[in-house]
Structures are given as C-alpha cells and as structure tokens.
Amino acid sequence: MSEPARYNPQPPRPAWGIRPPSKKNISTDLPILTAPIPKQVVIPIQQCLGLPARPIVTPGQQVRAGEPIAVSGATGAGPKLHASISGGIHAIEERPVPGPQPTTETCVVIHGDGQDLPYNGYRGVGDPMQLEPDRLCALVAEAGIVGLGGALYSTADKLSTPHKIKALILNGAECEPYITCDEMLELEHADKVLRGARIMMRALNTSLAIIAVERDMAEDRVALNDAIEAAGDRNIHVAVVTAKYPAGGERQLIQMIMNQEVPEGGYPSDLGYVCHNVATAAAVADFFDSGRPLISRIVTLAGGGVEMTRNVEARIGTEMRELIQSTVGYSNELAQLVMGGPMMGFLLPDHTLPVTKATNCLICANPGELSPPRPEMPCIRCSQCSQVCPALILPQELLTAAARHDMGALVDLGLNACIECGCCDYVCPSHIPMTSRFIEAKRALGENQRETQNAERARKRFEKRQERLNRQNSERGQELQEQVDELAESPEQVIDAIMDRVKSKAGK
Amino acid sequence: MMLASGSAPHWRTRDTVASMMRQVIYALLPAIVLYSIFFGIGIIINCLIATAVAVGTEIVALLLRRRPVELFIKDNSAIVTAILLAFCLPSLTPWWVTATGSFFAIAVAKHLYGGLGYNVFNPAMVGYVVLLVSFPEEMSHWTAPNVGDIDYQAPTALMTLQYVLTGALPDGMTIDAITRATPLNSIKMELGLMRTIDEIRSNPSFGEFGGRGWEMINGVIALGGFWLLYRGIIRWHTPVAMIGTLLALAFLASILDSSIHPGPFFHLFSGGTLLCAFFIATDPVSGATTDTGKLIFGAGVGALTFIFRTWGVFPDGVSFSVLLMNMAAPLIDRYTRPRVYGRIPPGH
C-alpha cells in the first residue's frame, strides 16, 4: 500500500476569487419539495458530454418510468437515458433545448399515463459492495449517471480511470450564488451521499473520500459528520473550504484540500484524485438502493420572479414553466431566466424548455436583478482581474493577445488554464466581456492547433513521398550506371548478350 | 416569448472607470484645499484652467478620432490628468503655460497613442516635462507660506489671478518679491554655494521634515493615497516600493555624508514624492500590471528620483523617473508574469 493521501481539512483562505452576494439563505428555509409528475416530458437525448446518443424506442411504444429510451457512445456502453415518467412515446423529434446558445436537439417526447409505473428491469442488480469495480462502472453507465454539477461528464468513465486513485473528492462546495441543491441534499440525505461515496470508492479501489463543503454550510458539515460518525466510517472525511467563488472548481478544490495543482493540460486523475459532485454520488446510491436510474434531479428555483425560493426534485424533461408554476409559482412577469448560477449559467430564450440533467438551478430574475449591459471601455490594466483569477493568469494580458490573435502568446499566458469562472468580468471596471473573449480564443486556438497538425501531417506525407521518389530515381540511376560501366569494360560481351536476346525474341 | 440574452457572468461590479477616476479626484481634494491655504489660490485657478483645456482637447480629439464623445468624456480621466498636472505647477503660472501642458498631455501623450488605456507615458508627467523644459522661467515662480521670512510677501488672490490671466503683476510689484525657491530647489542651489544641509535647513522656511507647508500638504496627499488603497483602487506595491527605495537610498547617503544629503524624511515630504507614490506611479495604464512588476516599477521610480534629485540639473526628479520607468513597464511585465496554475516552472 502506498502512503495514504494527506489532505487539509480546513484549507486557508485563498488569495484568488470573489465574494458575490450569496443569495442562498432563503432557498434553504424549506425542505426539498417533490414536484408533481408532469403530464408530458421532453427528454433531449444528448445528455452526456462528448458521447453521441441514439434513441432505442419508437413512437407509439409504451414505456415505464426508468425504462431506457436512448443509449450513448459508439458501442452503446455510455450512460443511458431513461423515460422519466410512464406513458407512451409521442414523438422523437427536434426540439429547442437549453444551452449556452439557443439550439435544437433530438428529443423523446413522452405523454404520461398519470400512473408513474416504475420500470422493474433494474431491481436486484446486486449488493454494490460485493460487485467488482468493472461491473459497478457498467451499472453506473446503465443507470444514466452523469456529472450533476452541470458538466454532464460520464460518471462511469471517470470511475474507470486507469490511474491509481489516492482519494475520491466529493464536491459539495456550491460556490455560485443562489444555488443550494447540493447543500439541501447534504442536509437531508447525508447518509445517501455517504452510501454513494462508498460505492464510488469501491469502483475506484481507493480507501479515502473527502467531502468538500463551504464554510457557510455549517449545518451540512454537522449532518455529514453525524452520518459519518453514526456509520463508524473512518475512510470518509469532511473538508471545509472558504465560501469564496470559485472555491467549488475542481482544480481549486484540489489546490486547497490536497495542496497540489493539476498539471497544465492534465486531469485530476494524473495526481491520483477523482472529483465527483455530491449529487452524482447520491444518484449512484439511489440506483443501487432501489433500482431507480437517473430520472430526476434537485433544482433550485430562485430569483425575485418566483413566489418562494425552494429546491424541488423534478423529473428530467419537465417543462421549466410547468415546474415553476406547479411548485413555487411566478410572482410577476418573467424578465430573465438563467439556468445555472449568475456567474457561469446561461440566459435562456424561453421558459418552455425542458429540465435536463444539467439543470441545477433556475433563476427567474426580476428586471435589475442581473447586471444591466454596460458599454465596454478600453482596458486600463488596473489588474483587478489578475488579483481574483483562480487560474493565476493575467487576464489583462490575455485580452490583448486575444485581440491580436497571437496564438503563441495565448498559450504562453495560460489560456488553457482558464476555467471560465467569470471572476475577471465580475470585477472589471471597464466591463469587458473577458470570459466570452477567452472562450472564443480557446475555440480559435483549438482550430489553429488542428490546422497546424494537419499542415504538419501533410508536410510529412509530402516529404515521405519525395524521399520515395528520390530513392526510386537513384535506384534506376544506379542500374543504368552499372550497365554503362559494364559496356565500357567489355563491350563485345555486352553486345553479344544483347544480340542473343534479340535473336531469341525473334526466334519466338 | 423571447427573453433577454447575454453572456455569463450575469453579475458585474458597479465600479466603472469613471467611478475609479472620481475616487482619485476625491482623494486629491483635501490636498488642494490645504495647498491653497498655504500657497494661495493659484492651484485652484490652475486646476480649473487645466481641466477646461483637458476636457476641451479630449472632446476635439474624440471627435477627430470618431469615438463616442459622451462615453469617454464621462470617464473623468481627463480631469484626473489635468488636476495632477496642475498640482505640479507653481501657483503663479500664466494661463497659456498651463493650457499648453494640459493640451500636450491630452492631445499628444494620450490621444496620439490611442486614447484611454493605450498611452505609454503618464499624460500628466509628459505635459509637466514639456513645460519644465519649454518654460523654465515661468515654472520657477513658486510662492511660499508666510512663515518667518520678513522680506517675503505672499501674493493676494487678486494679484495671483491677474498674473495668471495676463502674465503681469500690478505696478511696482516684482516677481522676486512674491516668489521663493522650493525647499528642494534651495537645497540644490545652496549646496552649490558650499553650504551644509544643517545651515540650509536652519532657515525658517524649513519645517520638521521638509519645507513648511509642503510637509503638511504631502501628509494630506498620503492620506488621500491611503483612501485609494482602502478602496482597492491602487495596490500597495508601487507606493511601498517607491517610498522604500527612496528612503533607503537617502538614508544610506545621509549616513555617508549628512552635510550634503538631506536625509530620508526630507526626501519623503518634499517635492512630488508622495503625489508620485500614490497618484502618478500608480497610474495603471502606463505602469506595470503584475504585482512583482509593480514592485520593480516603484523601486525604479524611487531610485531614479533619488539620483535625479542628488545629481540632476532639476531640483525634483519624479517626473523624469516616472517617464523612464513607463518605458520599461512593458518589459518588466514581460518578465514578471506570475506562474500559471498547474504550470511547472522551467528547470523543475
């Protein structure tokens, strides 16, 4: 056994980051509410990062809640997608889906039968603590579990890392304002989070799990510690990080708790750590507890535009408007709708879009609740941005490199280390949309690198061909030279040989 | 239904370039008031003239450059430049001198380089240096506080106004009667006459640290600087490095020979030291932007100021020091970049 990983249970306050108003208190007053079962769900089939999905049901087919309706990945081994209500498949068609840009996606539309009949195919998958890690990972994919922090990365893929894992880090440090879905989950279902953690630890073959919470989540810390104590678990620990944005960033958590930085261009697993969201762990526990795949999630409904601010458990595919109307209610006409937090979330064009596995929060903002657009001024290099940047880059320098499309400088200045947290935008007195610029620059840089690679490949191909031609030419030249030499040495013999060949050909 | 769109983050600071510049102006106001109490209303007149010319020049430059006039006028940056320039001028400065400096600062040092955010040199210092070398005579008409010098008569407000607007004094009045050398200048001149620092400073125009009046104004300027630090508008690196370096060098020099070096506190409370440390060297646009860079930049300004004051032709050296370090700022930034998260420093 290698030495157990050392961690910092109470890391000091980092120099980077910002403290926006938290707006969290009101949404933690009331317990999580289970939303009524919707009459219809629209389930976008693309709900796992980077793995293309295809439907496996046809219109007219009857499905039960929890029955697979789509598979993902080239071999179909990626996270599945399940019917979130029982009923009939009404259509499989392109529908608008929530995303950073307004876009459409293939969606499975299910008309509910109002009975919410559960699918029984996953009953009795076995005691997870007896199953082999490979089998656990396959089942996690079968359950359709993806990163519920919003990234939608395949949980099974992260659990089946080839690296030796020293510690599982469960991210419960929700640092974005408004969002409390993880906070409420830890408070109400601490034991479930722990059960999920143990299954994940088994899949990762590691004996240490650290649950990270923020300093202002005192009740969560107590709830988790109580549950750990009640279970007598010595392998799961709670670490408390400063309530500062973006303390909940994966790389920032590792820096604070493990005192290590994820190498540039690398992943946490390179250091022996795997980070999962606490809600993801709870989803894993749910599946093995009751055979229920990921068909619902906790969503924080917040903002000045709702009657009350509350966390609700919503079925995937529920229309956002229906979810809000049937639970917390609109208080006035909707002005702006954000999915996610005010720092990294995106504005939705419409509230008739479906809830997806990435919908951790919906902010119904009143006019003036979000910052109004302000005219962009030139950068005055005040260095407010570099003081808050958690990636320790110089956004003010990156900005000028991006403006002149200087790819070399962008790489040197650490564009790829940017986690797009938006802190630089938040503090910029010139109101420059830096994060958008950096996202765009990353895209351009990726394209540029692909082009360079293609050019490199073409150049190598050309050189190989040139080399081959040269070799052929020189071989032919050598042959001719040999014949010439022979002729010079003994002309009669050569001429005789040629004459013989001519005669023998003529004879035929 | 189509809701409003926009890119993340959806929350941003209420601070603007204009509000930052406004804070700088507020931080300078107490010093302006104190200055006018000690040295007459000249500074207020100079501030008004410089501001009027700076804003006027800015409007014309923006129109010529086809930039949004209202947006950029409201950023208050031209006013800050004007006030900083006016602060460097003698109370008795003819209006055309002030106007020339203010025009040059905005038109040449700022807008020819691309306007707000793009100027390589601190506009106020460019304007000041242009005046210093173009109008050496006019730039030496310093008044003095009324302390212990019986030959000296401070100009009245009316006299100041008349001189500023016409360049002439009332009949029978000579400029020499109402002006005196600044403390830095006296030291430079009298050291040249082989007098010792102790002899020079025994003159009643010298106070505890620097010149009478000057030392209090500088103290209030420092308070304004602390306000900017408290508000997070400037960082501590530049002032600390500049003051620290200047004090250290002055201290060393005074240990070596206190008869020809006036000592650290005199340097601190004389001339433009504190104005430069908190308001000029901290100009974000023309200074260094990294934390380490700010330390180097400040230390450079401090060291050069000491050198210019001790061995230079002009009594004060902050303006030249700042301009020289402005040139070095891009290079300093280039070599003081912080280590990016997750990047292993070369050689490890």
Q: What is the pLDDT of residue A1?
A: 43
Same domain as B204, residue B255:
yes
Q: Report pLDDT digits (tens) over A292-305.
A: 999 999 999 999 99
The two tokens of residue A463 are 């050189």
Same domain as B242, residue B149:
no
Q: CB–CB of A352 and B71 under 8 A?
A: no
Distance between CA atoms of residues A315 and A65, nearest Å: 10
DSSP string, A39-69: SEEEEES--STT--EEE---TT-EE-BT-EE
Q: What is the pLDDT of residue B224?
A: 97
The two tokens of residue B267 are 């340097």
Rounded (5°) CA angle A181-A354-A336: 75
Same domain as B175, residue B26:
yes
**Number of separate domains in chain A:** 3
Same domain as A254, residue A217:
yes
Unique residue bearing structure tokens 């526990």: A285
Residue B226 belongs to a domain: yes
Interface check for B112 against chain A (CB to CB < 8 A): the answer is: no
Query: ipTM score of the complex?
Result: 0.90
Closest chain B CA to residue A378: B117
Residue B56 belongs to a domain: yes
Same domain as A330, residue A283:
no
- The number of beta carbons lying within 10 Å of the beta carbon of residue B263 is 17
Amino acid at residue number B201: R
Same domain as B133, residue B209:
no
Distance between CA atoms of residues B155 and A201, nearest Å: 85
Q: Report pLDDT digits (tens) over A66-107.
A: 999 999 988 888 999 999 999 999 999 999 999 888 899 999
Closest chain B CA to residue A417: B341
Q: What percent of chain A has pLDDT over 70?
A: 99
With contacts defined as CB-CB under 8 Å, which chain B residues touch A433?
7
Q: CB–CB of A391 and B19 under 8 A?
A: no
Q: What CATH number is associated with residue A183?
A: 3.40.50.11540
pLDDT at A190 over 60: yes
Same domain as B271, residue B169:
no
Distance between CA atoms of residues A189 and A212, nearest Å: 16
Q: Which of B179, B199, B233 is a domain's end point?
A: B179
Considering only A395-404, B2-11, B122-131, which range has the smallest mean pLDDT? B2-11
Same domain as A425, residue A343:
no
pLDDT at A3 over 70: no
Min Cα–Cα distance to chain A from B17, Å: 5
Reported confidence tier of residue A508, pLDDT bands at 50, 70, 90 = low
Unique residue bearing structure tokens 């910002």: A18
Same domain as A383, residue A347:
no
Distance between CA atoms of residues B152 and B146, nearest Å: 7
The two tokens of residue B186 are 């006296």
The two tokens of residue A500 are 């013989």
Q: CB–CB of A381 and B5 under 8 A?
A: no
Same domain as B218, residue B124:
no
Same domain as A141, residue A16:
yes
Residue B322 belongs to a domain: yes
Considering only A273-282, A408-417, A474-483, B74-83, which range has the smallest mean pLDDT? A474-483
Higher-confidence residue of B125 and B164: namely B125
Q: Report pLDDT digits (tens) over B45-97.
A: 999 999 999 999 999 999 999 999 999 999 999 999 999 999 999 989 999 99
Same domain as B173, residue B55:
yes
Q: CB–CB of B11 and A348 under 8 A?
A: no
Same domain as A233, residue A329:
no
Same domain as B331, residue B312:
yes
Instruction: Give residue B194's region: left, alpha or beta (phi > 0; psi -120 to 50).
Output: left
Q: Which of A266, A292, A318 is a domain's end point?
A: A292
Q: What is the pLDDT of residue B309?
A: 92
Q: What is the pLDDT of residue A198?
A: 95
Of A264, A351, A430, the CB nearest to B340: A264
Residue A107 belongs to a domain: no
Q: Cβ(B78)–Cβ(B106) under 8 Å?
A: yes
Q: What percent of chain A has pLDDT over 90?
A: 77
Same domain as A264, residue A200:
yes
Same domain as A194, residue A284:
yes
Residue A488 belongs to a domain: no
Reported confidence tier of residue B346, pLDDT bands at 50, 70, 90 = low
With contacts defined as CB-CB under 8 Å, which chain B residues touch A393?
338, 340-341
Angstrom CA distances, A231 to A178, A190, A192, A224, A284, stand at: 32, 11, 12, 11, 18
The two tokens of residue B259 are 């008869």
Distance between CA atoms of residues B101 and B131, nearest Å: 6
Q: CB–CB of A425 and B9 under 8 A?
A: yes
Structural domain boundaries enclosing B89:
16-179
Name the pTM for this structure: 0.88
With contacts defined as CB-CB under 8 Å, which chain B residues touch A396?
289
Q: CB–CB of A428 and B10 under 8 A?
A: no
Closest chain B CA to residue A353: B1
Same domain as A262, residue A231:
yes
Q: CB–CB of B16 and A377 under 8 A?
A: yes
**Number of separate domains in chain B:** 2
Same domain as A203, residue A234:
yes
Considering only A4-13, A424-433, A458-467, B243-252, which range has the smallest mean pLDDT? A4-13
Structural domain boundaries enclosing A5:
1-27+128-292
Min Cα–Cα distance to chain B from A31, Å: 28
Residues 6+ apart with CB under 8 A from B334: none
Q: Which of residues 404-443 of A touch B (CB under 8 A)?
A: 413-414, 417, 422, 425-431, 433, 435-436
Q: Which of B150, B179, B208 is a domain's end point?
A: B179
Q: Report pLDDT digits (tens) over B266-282.
A: 899 988 999 999 999 99
Min Cα–Cα distance to chain A from B267, Å: 28
Mean pLDDT, chain B, rounded, equals: 90
Distance between CA atoms of residues A128 and A133, nearest Å: 9
Residue B344 belongs to a domain: no
Same domain as B188, residue B113:
no
Same domain as B226, residue B175:
no
Q: How many Cβ pairs closer than 8 A exist between chain A and B?
A: 161
Q: Which of residues 50-69 of B touch A (CB under 8 A)?
A: 68
Q: What is the pLDDT of residue B5?
A: 75
Residue B9 belongs to a domain: no
Q: Cβ(B148)–Cβ(B205) under 8 Å?
A: yes
Same domain as A337, residue A259:
no
Strand order in the sheet with A346-347: A33-34, A310-315, A296-302, A361-365, A336-339, A346-347
Q: Cβ(A249)–Cβ(A419) under 8 Å?
A: yes
Closest chain A CA to residue B120: A380
Q: What value does the mean pLDDT take over residues A166-173? A: 94
Q: What value does the mean pLDDT take over residues A101-120? A: 92
Same domain as B190, residue B160:
no
Sign for the CA dihedral angle at B208, B211, B212, B214 comes to: negative
Residue B2 belongs to a domain: no
Same domain as B163, residue B21:
yes
Q: What is the pLDDT of residue A166?
A: 93
Higher-confidence residue of A491 and A226: namely A226
Same domain as A387, residue A357:
no
Q: CB–CB of A371 and B284 under 8 A?
A: no
Burial A335-348 (b: 16+ CB within 10 A, else e): bbbbbbbbbbbbbb
Q: Which of residues 127-166 of A touch B (CB under 8 A)?
A: none
The alpha-helical segments, DSSP class H, found in chain B are 17-39, 42-64, 69-73, 77-88, 95-103, 123-134, 157-166, 175-178, 183-192, 197-201, 214-230, 237-256, 264-268, 273-275, 291-311, 318-335
Q: What value does the mean pLDDT take over residues A396-410? A: 93
Residue B236 belongs to a domain: yes
Residue A399 belongs to a domain: yes
Q: Which of A292, A319, A349 is a domain's end point?
A: A292
Q: Which of B127, B151, B179 is a domain's end point?
A: B179
Residue B234 belongs to a domain: yes
Angstrom CA distances, A467 to A453, A471, B9, stand at: 21, 6, 54
Distance between CA atoms of residues B213 and B209, nearest Å: 10
Q: What value does the mean pLDDT take over residues A305-323? A: 94
